[in-house]
Amino acid sequence: MRIIGIDPGSISCGYGIIEETNSNISIINFGIIKPRLKSRTSKFSEVLKILYDDIFNLLIEFNIEEAAIETQFYHKNAQSLMKLTQARTSITLAVLNLNLPIYEYSPREIKQSVTSNGNATKKSVRFMVNSILNINIEKKLTDASDALAVALCHVSKKGKLVLQKNSPRNWREFIEMNPERIIS
């Protein structure tokens, strides 16, 4: 089953595509969509169209079967919250127009699923995604690692995630498995 995880945003939208086959997870693709307005007179609606088109094209190109998206959380800035809501709506419509099932997970639920700590930092999430998928996502692609975490959360919630034998599930296991990498 091919799953896309999405970390929505109007400035930077992360996506991560994984495939679950016989309880094994493999990475298919990941990246960031950064919609840019063509000019100062451009409208925010153009950003929404770019998000819709790019997600729609990814869904078709990679034969996605299910989508998982991070839910909104409270923003202090009402303008930012409105833009994020519109971005999520645009992304959701792209998924729904292909009649694909879409699942939503809270940031805390995603962090808990991937790191065993609902208050984990973005750095911890990126570390665990790298460890679980045996990849090395750079710091500048945090939105992409967050999106992969959303996809992994979805697989985990469906009861299909089996971590690789040598993959730590949290920082404690990492320290126990790699004592030589700890600086005293």
How many domains, in total, are found in the chain? 1
CB 5 within 8 A of CB 148: yes
- Decide if 143 is catalytic: yes
Instruction: Tell me what pLDDT residue 137 has.
Output: 87
Which band of pLDDT confidence, cut at 50, 70 and 90, is reported for residue 80?
confident
* Sheet with 13-21, edge to edge strand ranges: 24-33, 13-21, 2-7, 66-70, 102-105
CB 132 within 8 A of CB 149: no
Give me the catalytic one of 7, 20, 54, 66: 7
Give me the catalytic one of 54, 143, 173, 176: 143
The model carries a pTM of: 0.83
Lowest mean pLDDT among 73-82, 104-113, 114-123, 148-157: 73-82
Q: Is 105 helix (H, G, I), strand (E, B) or coil?
A: strand
Residues 8-16 have a mean pLDDT of 92
What range does the domain containing 147 cover? 2-181
Give me the catalytic one of 66, 70, 138, 176: 70
- Decide if 70 is catalytic: yes
- Decide if 146 is catalytic: no
CB 133 within 8 A of CB 145: no
CATH of the domain at 144: 3.30.420.10
**Closest to 33 in 3D by CA, of 176, 147, 152:** 147
